[in-house]
Amino acid sequence: MLSIGVDIGGTKIAAGVVDEAGEIIAATTRSTPATDAVLIEAAVADAVAELRSAHDVVGVGVGAAGFVAADRRTVRFSANLAWREHALAEELERLTGLPVVVENDANAAGWAEYRFGAATEARHMLMMTVGTGLGGAVVLDGNLLRGSGGFAGEVAHMTAVPDGQWCGCGLRGCLEQYTAGTALVRAAKRRAATGDPLLGRLVQAAGGDRKAIDGPLITRLAQQGDEGAVELIAEIGTWLGRGVASIAALLDPEVVVVGGGVSAAGELLLAPARAAYAEHLTARGHRALADFVPAQMGNRAGIVGAADLAR
Amino acid sequence: MLSIGVDIGGTKIAAGVVDEAGEIIAATTRSTPATDAVLIEAAVADAVAELRSAHDVVGVGVGAAGFVAADRRTVRFSANLAWREHALAEELERLTGLPVVVENDANAAGWAEYRFGAATEARHMLMMTVGTGLGGAVVLDGNLLRGSGGFAGEVAHMTAVPDGQWCGCGLRGCLEQYTAGTALVRAAKRRAATGDPLLGRLVQAAGGDRKAIDGPLITRLAQQGDEGAVELIAEIGTWLGRGVASIAALLDPEVVVVGGGVSAAGELLLAPARAAYAEHLTARGHRALADFVPAQMGNRAGIVGAADLAR
Amino acid sequence: MLSIGVDIGGTKIAAGVVDEAGEIIAATTRSTPATDAVLIEAAVADAVAELRSAHDVVGVGVGAAGFVAADRRTVRFSANLAWREHALAEELERLTGLPVVVENDANAAGWAEYRFGAATEARHMLMMTVGTGLGGAVVLDGNLLRGSGGFAGEVAHMTAVPDGQWCGCGLRGCLEQYTAGTALVRAAKRRAATGDPLLGRLVQAAGGDRKAIDGPLITRLAQQGDEGAVELIAEIGTWLGRGVASIAALLDPEVVVVGGGVSAAGELLLAPARAAYAEHLTARGHRALADFVPAQMGNRAGIVGAADLAR
Amino acid sequence: MLSIGVDIGGTKIAAGVVDEAGEIIAATTRSTPATDAVLIEAAVADAVAELRSAHDVVGVGVGAAGFVAADRRTVRFSANLAWREHALAEELERLTGLPVVVENDANAAGWAEYRFGAATEARHMLMMTVGTGLGGAVVLDGNLLRGSGGFAGEVAHMTAVPDGQWCGCGLRGCLEQYTAGTALVRAAKRRAATGDPLLGRLVQAAGGDRKAIDGPLITRLAQQGDEGAVELIAEIGTWLGRGVASIAALLDPEVVVVGGGVSAAGELLLAPARAAYAEHLTARGHRALADFVPAQMGNRAGIVGAADLAR
């Protein structure tokens, strides 16, 4: 039984036919016409049509950045795309004639890790997607947590520091301001601006222009052993671990999957995260520590998870 | 179909026969022989035998303070009682000949509110029990959240303030140190010790001895309109609301039930909690606010919830 | 005995002849050629020459934004102007033939308040200048505090919140990020972006464009009683009071003069500052509370203070 | 020219004849009759009489725990001794016939370091006394900072963590709760209670009883290289450095003298303090870092400082 997964990103729509083992057996892409809901839907429908022409599918799953209502049909709000209380599933069903389910993109990716990736052995999974921003997905006893209004799993906006760094969401001290790519780069730039000698090599590698520092550069230097870059990533990891420790007090997951662009740093991120998690976990000594493992599905996670949810 | 619920507290074992409507139709108590697991079990079995003599029951549910393994049979650790990795269900089944399930007491109480009390209309409930300490229970889509090792729902030990007040659990800044009866009384005593004029009436009501201030006294003065007492309870409520806002980012509950001894303060606690929750909730304006409602089951919650879980 | 005071700002050089009572008896201005140290000095010399032509003066005092060495002759570093370890006094003495002293601008303004303005009755004064940024000046027993390297009085960069808001100085949680005009406007914009209903009138007054919100607008609405604007200014005031309470633990001033653009809000700023100061001051009940008073010298403070220091 | 210094502690009154080089050339002690002001004064007078019988002195300096009014004659409040607004200098002058000055004990000790000990080369000194509690003394340009009411230098009660650990003074998050002997021991006990394996050797060294852990034991194990003890002291040092960085933003001292019982740990305390200070100091790169040096005067500091102030 095949289904189609669609991952609607800010710049690219990626779609694929996915089998029951989570393999993508055919794929296609479109660029995202971000400012127009009708054009986005047309592009999705076009990609679906292309894939259906060669494969028999039972439905379409769509992963999209934004808050998706608990019925998995309506996008309530998206920061990047052109939707407000938008009946996305209904529109796509009309255009494609297939049953459609919509899911938040971080949730879709988390589901893929749970079903086919890093957490297939677990019943209770927490996924932390440390990309430019911070995403989260929770699977409890085999069910993806969606909450009463579809807003569950927003780990980014749990408070890490009361009265801390202002967040784009209008609150202060959100976890995303401490453990995400944006936080990593901001810390690097701020510290470089003070002439911190530890960041000397990093500034040099950015061509002498501290404003040119970005996440991949920090990761690359860290992997080469540069002390300043290692410290910057370790700080992100430490906050990740502290955040997970608070979440674990509430959810008690058995595995924590860490994905997203910053997770390319591997153990440079995971080791300090594990240490901070263990240090800040209540009842340690009386309980098993959750495993911290890297995500396995990479870019395919959105397509595969969405497709699987459509089955 | 009747079942027996047993609530094992630090000083008293309360048991009752509960019907399918959540009503206690017969009840009995024993004092708790806290230091001896065998004696506790004997007392429970004795209470069960008394209740069974007049009623036909299908099983026994036991609520106990402590961490209960996910199989609902083993108490892993209890701060107050004499158990370490103790096979409580098995022992009680041997003594009573009835099927037994064991549950954490805050979870049992939360389940009672969900099934028969303040949250019967909801699918996703968070219960915050603001007693001497802070307890939590989570029901998601009709299922009591237990986590991979039975440690879920420990809202008390989520971090409210990094490097904040030391907690008995060995961590710093746990939410329980900011919103619970102990926190309320400590704040009152500390501020009274400085001669804070706002606490003058409270000290006077404690017979001039600030060390004699306790929670019920603060609540009573607050209900009489004493400004200092109102402010003390409001601060507990504010931290409750901040904590719930972080939890809601993760779980998105539709109702928040507030129970425990401090909740006797009613709206003096709930109103500042609601305000702080709304102020610190991400995506406010795009989502419904959860209802904050007082618990309805009172002391019966532990017995009723445990009994219902045994069915 | 007359002297000349010069206030070198980012856009304007203001100079005046000041008498021993702190009155400006003649004044002139030049625009600031910010990018060229030589041109700045020429403009200052030109203004001094104009003033001298009609008045007999004994020396020149210069107030400048930046870190001034303890010898009051060298500007070590300025964020806005073209100086790095610059021998400003020596150059100006060469150009004018008069003795010159250089002082940090916030210090010069504080000295004017101490000598002729809001703190003439005091021996120990703290001045907090709440402008776009936050400035400080300390007078202890009649002496302006300068520190071992001229860096004293940098209240802006005391830590208010560990791991709090990143500061332009490369640290986190500096007091300036919580109590200054920039902090006020950022809070307003962030909260407006979430659709906070309390900020509705403010956004409306900004022509519906939340990015157009600025400090004077917030102050104006607050003075008209708008609840959202009042709350925004009160939060700045609360942090001001908390910061002063920490400073007072160290310095024990008898008066706190509050100046700068945000202080135009008057009691809307000062009342919450006083309350937070009293709440967070150690040993309260055993000591006198410092007076919080508005600055009196306004824009003249820089000229008058610098001139007085030159005598 | 000789003078007498008296150090009134909670259990012992130590007095000595001090010469102009800061040497104690004769000494005596009495036990402290803590609950009776008259008896304390009689004991001080008796010690002074003994010392005068063999040496010609010009006056008496007294160091006492507590808040001393700015006139150096009146003790306003002492947590441990029997004084409230007590005219100590006047009483002692009556009993001894010598001129008497009274000073806070931490100030007296700081003055001794400035005049004869670790800071003789400096003009601006900050002394941090890390004992059971935290004391401070500030010398600016050769003057001991006393403040408008004698309350200056109370570094213990500057806020380190908003809403942090409750302090005995009635505030939350005071620096003393993070960097002092009490904080060190509390952290050790709390972490030991969780079974933290890093603290295993420390508990063992306390005879298996974590409640028997004290400061000297932690220091001894740290000096033997025990990882847990080293980490505990490093955390105290880190907070010391953070606190000093905030103070330095305000005072810009050239030397930081670290004394008190915890300073027996030497570089185990000082190295992390220096690192945290450098990390949290504003304008680093544009300014000299203050030296962190150990105190040199030991127990003699109180006597020597008080005596010197009496000259």
| Chain A residues touching chain D at CB-CB below 8 Å | 162-163, 194-196, 284-285
CA distance C78 to B277: 43
CA distance D125 to D141: 9
Mean pLDDT of A203-224: 97
Contact at CB, C196 and B163, closer than 8 angstroms: no
Which residue is associated with the tokens 């780990």?
A155
Q: What is the pLDDT, as a whole number, of residue C283?
A: 86
Q: What is the pLDDT, as a whole number, of residue D65?
A: 86
Q: What is the pLDDT, as a whole number, of residue B67?
A: 87
Mean pLDDT of C78-94: 87
Report the residue from B162, B163, B285 with minimal CB separation from C194. Answer: B285
CB pairs under 8 A between B and D: 47
**In B143-266, which residue ranges form alpha helices assigned H by DSSP?**
181-193, 200-205, 215-223, 227-251
For residues C9 and C43, the answer to whether their CB atoms sit within 8 Å is no
Nearest-neighbour CA in chain B from C212: distance (Å):
21
- pLDDT grade, residue A229 (50/70/90)? very high
Residues in Cβ contact with B139 at an 8 Å cutoff, skipping those fewer than 6 apart: B110, B111, B114, B119, B122, B123, B124, B125, B127, B145
Region A122-295: CATH code? 3.30.420.40
Q: What is the pLDDT, as a whole number, of residue C77?
A: 81
pLDDT digits (tens, 9 = 90+) for B173-224: 999 999 999 999 999 999 998 888 899 999 999 999 999 999 999 999 999 9
Ranges A121-135, B187-201, C263-277: which has the least confidence: B187-201
- For residue C114, which phi and psi values (nearest 5 degrees)? -70, -40
Which chain A residues have a beta carbon less than 8 Å from that of D195? 284-285
Report the residue from A162, A195, A285 with minimal CB separation from D163. Answer: A162
Q: Beta strand pairing status for B12-18 and B24-31?
A: antiparallel
DSSP string across A162-184? TTBSB-TTS-BSBGGGTSSHHHH
Q: Which of D279, D196, D277, D207 is nearest to D232 (CA)?
A: D196
CB pairs under 8 A between A and C: 47
pLDDT digits (tens, 9 = 90+) for B271-300: 999 999 999 999 887 888 999 999 999 999
Q: What architecture does CATH give domain C124-295?
A: 2-Layer Sandwich (3.30)
How is chain D split into domains, by residue range? 2-111+300-309, 122-295
Contact at CB, C162 and D157, closer than 8 angstroms: no
Report the residue from D136, D150, D251 with minimal CB separation from C147. Answer: D251
Which chain B residues have a beta carbon less than 8 Å from that of A284? 170
Nearest-neighbour CA in chain D from B162: distance (Å):
8
Q: Would the CATH topology of C2-111+300-309 be identical to that of C124-295?
A: yes
Q: Tokens representing B233?
A: 């309870």
Please give the C-alpha separations between residue B290 and each of A76, A107, B126, B139, C191, in angstroms, as whole numbers.
17, 22, 10, 14, 20
pLDDT surpasses 80 at D222: yes
For residues B196 and B228, the answer to whether their CB atoms sit within 8 Å is yes
For residues D78 and D66, the answer to whether their CB atoms sit within 8 Å is yes
Mean pLDDT of D52-59: 96
Q: What is the pLDDT, as a whole number, of residue C198?
A: 92
Exposure on the CB side of residue B126, measured as CA atoms within 13 A? 30
Contact at CB, B194 and C284, closer than 8 angstroms: yes
Q: What is the pLDDT, as a whole number, of residue A307?
A: 98
> Can you give the three-state secondary structure of B234-277, one letter per residue?
HHHHHHHHHHHHHHHHHHCCCEEEEECHHHHHCHHHHHHHHHHH
- pLDDT grade, residue A285 (50/70/90)? confident
Contact at CB, B194 and C285, closer than 8 angstroms: yes
For residues A93 and A223, the answer to whether their CB atoms sit within 8 Å is no
CA distance D84 to D66: 10
> Can you give the three-state secondary structure of C86-135, one letter per residue?
ECHHHHHHHHHCCCEEEEEHHHHHHHHHHHHCCCCCCCCEEEEEECCCEE
Q: Would residue C289 be called left, alpha or beta, if left means φ above 0 and alpha means ψ between -120 and 50 degrees? A: beta
Contact at CB, C171 and D280, closer than 8 angstroms: yes
For residues D77 and D150, the answer to whether their CB atoms sit within 8 Å is no
Q: Which of B149, B52, B68, B161 is nearest to B106 (CA)?
A: B68
- pLDDT grade, residue B81 (50/70/90)? confident
CA distance C170 to A172: 19
Ranges A33-42, A226-235, B94-103, C168-177: which has the least confidence: A33-42
pLDDT surpasses 90 at B11: no
Residue of chain C nearest A169, judged by CA positions: C194
- For residue A35, which phi and psi values (nearest 5 degrees)? -90, 0
Mean pLDDT of A26-54: 93
Which chain B residues have a beta carbon less than 8 Å from that of A151? 248-249, 252, 283, 287
Residue D77 CB neighbour total at 10 angstroms: 18
pLDDT digits (tens, 9 = 90+) for D235-273: 999 999 999 999 999 999 999 999 999 999 999 999 999
Q: What is the pLDDT, as a whole number, of residue D9?
A: 85
pLDDT surpasses 90 at B26: yes
Nearest-neighbour CA in chain B from C235: distance (Å):
14
Which residues pair with residue C130 across a beta bridge? C134
pLDDT digits (tens, 9 = 90+) for C34-79: 678 899 999 999 999 999 999 999 999 999 988 898 889 999 888 7
Mean pLDDT of D177-196: 94
Report the residue from D162, D194, D285 with minimal CB separation from A195. Answer: D285
Angle between helices A301-309 and A105-116 (to 10 degrees): 80
Decide if domain D2-111+300-309 falls under CATH 3.30.420.40.
yes
CA distance C150 to C129: 18
Contact at CB, D284 and A162, closer than 8 angstroms: no
Contact at CB, C165 and A166, closer than 8 angstroms: yes
- pLDDT grade, residue A36 (50/70/90)? confident
Which chain D residues have a beta carbon less than 8 Å from that of B172? 165
CA distance B244 to B254: 12
Percentage of chain D beyond pLDDT 70 is: 100
Amino acid at A127: M
Q: What is the pLDDT, as a whole number, of residue D237?
A: 98
Which chain A residues have a beta carbon less than 8 Å from that of C190? 166-168, 170
Q: What is the pLDDT, as a whole number, of residue D84?
A: 83
**In A11-161, which residue ranges form alpha helices assigned H by DSSP?**
37-52, 88-96, 105-116
- For residue B233, which phi and psi values (nearest 5 degrees)? -70, -35
| Chain A residues touching chain C at CB-CB below 8 Å | 161-173, 178, 186-187, 190-191, 193-194, 196
CA distance A10 to A8: 7
Which chain B residues have a beta carbon less than 8 Å from that of C249? none
Q: What is the pLDDT, as a whole number, of residue B146?
A: 93
Which chain C residues have a beta carbon less than 8 Å from that of D152? 250-252
| Chain D residues touching chain B at CB-CB below 8 Å | 161-173, 178, 186-187, 190-191, 193-194, 196
Exposure on the CB side of residue D178, measured as CA atoms within 13 A? 31
- pLDDT grade, residue D182 (50/70/90)? very high
pLDDT digits (tens, 9 = 90+) for A85-105: 899 999 999 999 999 999 999
Mean pLDDT of A158-171: 96
Mutation to test the C interface, candidates D159, D286, D287, D291, most C Cβ within 10 Å: D159
pTM: 0.94
Residue of chain B nearest C164, judged by CA positions: B162
pLDDT surpasses 80 at A35: no
- pLDDT grade, residue D286 (50/70/90)? confident
For residues A140 and B244, the answer to whether their CB atoms sit within 8 Å is no
Which chain B residues have a beta carbon less than 8 Å from that of D186? 166
Report the residue from C163, C172, C193 with minimal CB separation from A170. Answer: C193
pLDDT surpasses 90 at D81: no
Q: A269-303 burial, b if ≥16 CB within 10 A, otherwise e?
A: bbebbbebbebbbbbbebbeebebbbbbbeebbbb
For residues D295 and D127, the answer to whether their CB atoms sit within 8 Å is yes
Mean pLDDT of D53-76: 93
Ranges C9-13, C303-307, D268-272: which has the least confidence: C9-13
Mean pLDDT of C269-295: 94
pLDDT surpasses 80 at D48: yes
CA distance C4 to C23: 11
Q: What is the ipTM of this complex?
A: 0.95
CA distance C272 to B204: 28
**Rg (alpha carbons) of chain A, rounded to whole number:** 20
Nearest-neighbour CA in chain D from A123: distance (Å):
28
The DSSP H or E segment spanning C270 is helix C267-280
Which chain A residues have a beta carbon less than 8 Å from that of B252? 146-152, 154
Which chain C residues have a beta carbon less than 8 Å from that of B195? 284-285
Contact at CB, B249 and A157, closer than 8 angstroms: yes
Report the residue from C169, C245, C246 with minimal CB separation from D283. Answer: C169
CB pairs under 8 A between A and B: 147
pLDDT surpasses 80 at C88: yes
Q: Which of B18, B16, B21, B42 is nearest to B31 (CA)?
A: B42
Mean pLDDT of A137-159: 95
